Structure 1
Amino acid sequence: MPDLWMPGAEIHDIGDHAPTDGGPPKGIAHITWDRNATAQKPADWVPFDDLVSYFTSSGGRPTAPHIVWDPFSGRIAQLYPADSRSKSVMDLPGGTRTNRAGAVVIQIEAVFFPFCRKDGTVYPRLVDTPCAGWDRLRAWVASWGVPDVWPMGVPVDFTPHRDEHTWETAAGWYAHGHVPENDHTDPGSWPAFGNTPTTPTEPTNEPPQPARYRTTINGLEYGYGAHGDQVTAVGEALVRAGYGGHYQQGPGPDWTDADTLNYRAYQQGLGYTGADADGVPGETSLRQLLGYLPGTRTVSLAHVVAAARTDPGAEQGHQTYGSEARIVEQALADEGLLDGQWVDGSFGTRTLNAYAAWQRRLGYAGRDADGVPGRSSLVRLGQAHGFAVTD
């Protein structure tokens, strides 16, 4: 069994241990962000011991992580054993249990905030620091089965990217900005995993030149020669995930060798090898990259609102806009909010209640969670389940 307490860490056991729920093992990357600073107004770095004292006090324990890490000196303090949940992400009642959603959910707080000043030098990003101690910290997390991959992309800025399905089903590292039910967007950057694999891998058998064939996913083409908005969406997502190194210009709507090479690097980052990492998307990797599958299905907001206001009071099974209601119902069923037998094209009471549950999952309440779709909630459902929203 791996070490519950990281070798070499300073142990500050704060008690209150509790089990995780099982499932894909995860690491969560945070920065303490204990001060706000800018390039014009940097602020002095807050000492490591101050943050350890805070998280071990009554005020800090409710949000304490497993690990507090000083990226300048390499000092590491551990507050919880690896097999316990910690408390650094928000966990809403009735949702996915974010602090427990894995065989382990090891949370790391780097003592850092953007534009902190230490010993006269200003550090805009965590990766600009020495990142001392990262290799041994990564190796210990990996010993608990957490693979060196970012299922929702390498954090390169403070843009959030959350997808509950990916969170619940994919092992690997997640930024705080990836965790469902949370509104934080840190860490902004994180050190690379290096060249040491956590488990033996097969030879990559990379092709001598980029693959030049196309595949069709959900009615849209990908691969060399493909054209369309879906190609641009993939390219932009690759750049956000840190896999845009082969672009000389772009990305754009025409799939070129650069897209293939970037996508191949992304597939390898997910752990794929050989023919599974040839740079042409598969459905699983594409959904992980984008958080949804682009498609040609569309839903009119006006139509589903009309259905939501009409169908519940009409006779059983009445369909105001049946085909579009059915798309929404199937998405709600895929979210686990509606029984499959009610995917029938009638936006009746059960569908209304299921949509209200979806709104509450997104954080809406009161009149904003009455089951009648609004643009924002419908767009987010479409992004997760592959349909576009029109007026």
Structure 2
Amino acid sequence: MPELWLPGAEIHDLGDHAPTDQQYPPKAIAHITWDRNATAAAPQDWCSYEDLVNYFTGSGAGSAPHLVWDPFSGRTTQLFPADSRSKSLLSPTESPTRTNRAGRVVIQIEAVFFPYCRYQGRVYPRLVDTPCAGWDRIHAWIASWGVPDVWPMGRPAGFSGCRDEHAWETRGGWYAHADVPFNDHTDPGSWPDFTAGPGSPDSPPSQQHPVPPASPARYQVSINGLPYGYGARGYQVTAVGRALVARGFGSHYQSGPGPDWTDADTENYADYQGSLGYSGSAADGVPGEGSLNRLLGYLPGQRSVSVSHLVSAARSDPGAEQGHRTYGSEVAIVEQALVDEGLLEQQWADGSFGTRTVAAYAAWQRRCGYEAGAADGIPGQSSLHRLGAAQGFTVTD
């Protein structure tokens, strides 16, 4: 299955996921934010990407797309996973389809742009006049979801619509907002060309073979508040590297893995992505949320743990089904600390506070001077604070 989250996107998951209507073919919808009205005679300053992200994650969440795309820098924020509907289309009761859901996927992209915007002193009449930075990556990801490189109602070349209910219901591909039935917007006015490779209508997705990047990717993503990709640093980088080695994907390391993300981490992660069936830009070695969760079994979080959460996990996980995770991201922080203290084998740092973790924590308690029933493997305030001080995480009640 393709990545639910665009590799390289900044993730601001709005929740409120909802399935699409699978009887319709896959679609992508092209929008521009058009947040200001400007003309050739009276251009206006571009409205920043950050402003639009703040809008769609705040008061504008009720009309949020999947992707908010800055065509000048290539930065992209994703608000819904690919298999959920988003909310940027009108869907009145008289419409025969639920427009935001009318496809196996209905992926909506808002380019942060309005005609005759002024950016760094230059005026851009059309979206295609911008650098369209990051477009190839967005296009490849959408194509991986089976959206063909066709415009059933014509590639947008101006601000007019061509709404055809029959085409909308029966043909997959790319649609301008101006072409969606029962909508009244006329954007985007223009849209960048498709690149060669994924999404070609001449062959189905299962027969497409995008060419992987020629050199290691050097950008970062944020997942659950932590950075991944070239230059990222932290315990989560070490956790990924060790998990890759444990899975047999460590051939590019000359030393480590360690807390600094290097090209070797990228190359090893790309090998792992390839083993999952990803290709092209979806296998560039920078994690997506789905592949990271599959590698680790949890998503690492900020280095803070709750005593009550750890106690609950230590009492629940050993008697539950093998691999059961209660507060898995917090347990993983403690487990990694126990690994680094030499008390737990790396293979058992999996986010489940099972019997081996209980035994390792009991060994830590004994190291702290506790005996008998006070060294039962159930975390307490004092011992957990001491472990946090030794290994660099904070502890809350």
Kept in 1, the 8 Å contact 2:87–2:100? The answer is yes
User: 2: CA distance between counterparts of 1:201 and 1:146?
Assistant: 12
Aligned equivalents of 1:194, 1:128: Cα separation in 2: 16
Q: Give per-residue Cα distances to partners, 1:223-273, cap 9 Å, x unaligned.
A: xxxxxxxxxxxxxxxxxxxxxxxxxxxxxxxxxxxxxxxxxxxxxxxxxxx
1:84 is aligned to: 84
Superposition pairs for residues 242-257 of structure 1, below 5 Å?
none
Once the two structures are superposed, residues 86-121 of structure 1 have per-residue CA deviations (whole angstroms, 9 ceiling, x without a partner) of 000100014221000000000000000000000000
Where structure 2 has 5 or more consecutive residues not aligned to the other structure, the ranges are: 204-397
Instruction: Report the equivalent of 1:40.
Output: 41
The alpha-carbon distance between structure 1 residues 119 and 199, as it changes in their structure 2 partners (threshold 3 A), is closer
Alignment partner, residue 246 of structure 1: none
Query: 2-side partners of 1:61 and 1:200: how far apart?
Result: 33
Equivalent in the alignment of 1:159: 160
CA deviations 1:129-159 (Å, max 9, x no partner) are 0000000000000000000110000000001
Query: SS state of the match for residue 99, structure 2?
Result: coil
CA 1:129 to 1:119, structure 2 compared with 1: closer, same or farther past 3 Å? Answer: same
Q: CA deviation at 1:197?
A: 4.4
Distance 1:199 1:44 in 2: 36
> Aligned letter for 2:71?
P
**Residue 118 of structure 2 corresponds to residue 109 of structure 1:** no
In structure 2, relative to structure 1, the CA distance for the partners of 1:182 and 1:50 (3 Å cut) is same
Q: Which residue of 1 aligns with 2:5?
A: 5
3-state SS of the aligned residue for 2:118? strand
Tell me the alpha carbon deviations over residues 9-36 of structure 1, each in whole angstroms, 9 at most, x when there is no partner. 0000011100001120000000000000
Q: 2:73 and 2:202 mapped to 1: Cα distance?
A: 32
SS at match of 1:72: coil
- Residues 37 and 114 in structure 2, CA contact (< 8 A), matched pair in contact too: yes
What is the CA deviation profile of residues 327-371 of structure 1, one whole-angstrom value per residue up to 9, with x for unaligned ones? xxxxxxxxxxxxxxxxxxxxxxxxxxxxxxxxxxxxxxxxxxxxx
Say if 1:200 and 1:89 are closer, same or farther in 2 by CA, change over 3 A.
closer
* Whole-Å separation in 2 of the counterparts to 1:98 and 1:14: 19
SS of 2:81 mapped into structure 1: coil
Once the two structures are TM-superposed, the CA of residue 196 in structure 1 deviates from its matched residue by: 2.3
Residues 199 and 191 (structure 1 numbering): CA distance in 2 closer, same or farther, change over 3 Å?
closer
Cα distance in 1 for partners of 2:39, 2:153 equals 27
The equivalent residue for 2:64 is: 64
Residue number in structure 2 paired with 1:298? none
Equivalent residue number for residue 31 of structure 1: 32
Contact 2:140-2:198 within 8 A present in 1 as well: no
Counterparts of 1:133 and 1:201 in 2: how far apart (Å)? 24
SS in 1 for 2:189: coil
Paired amino acid for 1:56: T
Q: Give the match for residue 345 of structure 2.
A: none
CA distance in 1 between counterparts of 2:200 and 2:86 reads: 26
- Name the CA distance, whole Å, in 1 between partners of 2:107 and 2:28: 5
Mapped partners of 1:197, 1:5: distance in 2: 17
AA of the residue aligned to 2:154: G
Task: Note the alpha carbon deviations across 1:314-335, whole angstroms, 9 max, x for none.
Answer: xxxxxxxxxxxxxxxxxxxxxx
Instruction: Return the TM-score normalized by structure 1.
Output: 0.51
The code of the aligned residue for 1:61 comes to: A
Q: Which amino acid aligns with 1:34?
A: D
Kept after mapping to 1: 8 A contact 2:75/2:134: yes
Deviation of 1:200 (Å)? 8.2
How many angstroms does 1:198 deviate by? 2.5
Separation of aligned partners in 2, 1:89 and 1:179? 8
Q: What does the per-residue CA deviation read over 1:173-200, in whole Å, with 9 as the maximum and x for residues that have no partner?
A: 0000000000000000000002224258
Aligned to 1:189, the other structure's residue is in SS state coil
Task: Decide whether aligned partners of structure 1 residues 79 and 36 sit closer, same or farther in structure 2, where only a CA change above 3 A counts.
Answer: same
> Hey, what's the Cα distance between the residues in 2 that align with 1:168 and 1:134?
26
Question: Secondary structure of 2:100's partner?
Answer: coil
Are 2:150 and 2:201, in contact at CA under 8 Å, matched by a contact in 1? no
Q: 2:101 aligns to what?
A: 100
Structure ID, larger Rg: 2
Answer yes or no: is the 8 Å Cα contact 2:149–2:200 preserved in 1. Answer: no
Aligned pairs (5 A) from 1:137-156: 137-156=138-157
TM-score by length of 2: 0.50
Unaligned runs of 5+ in 1: 203-391
After superposition, residues 108-127 of structure 1 pair within 5 angstroms as: 108-127=109-128
| Residues in 1 aligned to 2:202 and 2:106: alpha-carbon distance in whole angstroms | 24
Q: Return structure 1 stretches of 4+ with deviation > 3 angstroms.
A: 199-202
Cα separation, 2, equivalents of 1:133 and 1:153: 23
The one-letter amino acid of 1:6's match is L
SS across alignment from 2:101? coil
Matches within 5 A, 1:279-294: none
Residue 14 of structure 2 aligns to a residue in which SS?
Answer: coil
Question: In structure 2, what is the Cα distance between the partners aligned to 1:28 and 1:80?
Answer: 14
Q: 1:15 to 1:163 in 2, by over 3 A?
A: same
**Against the structure 1 CA distance between its residues 30 and 6, is the aligned structure 2 distance closer, same or farther, given a 3 Å change threshold?**
same
Q: 2:133 — aligned with what?
A: 132
Where in structure 2 are the equivalents of 1:1-391 lying within 5 Å? 1-22=1-22, 23-57=24-58, 59-95=59-95, 96-198=97-199, 201=202
**Cα distance in 2 between the residues matched to 1:193 and 1:199:** 9
Letter in 1 for 2:132: C
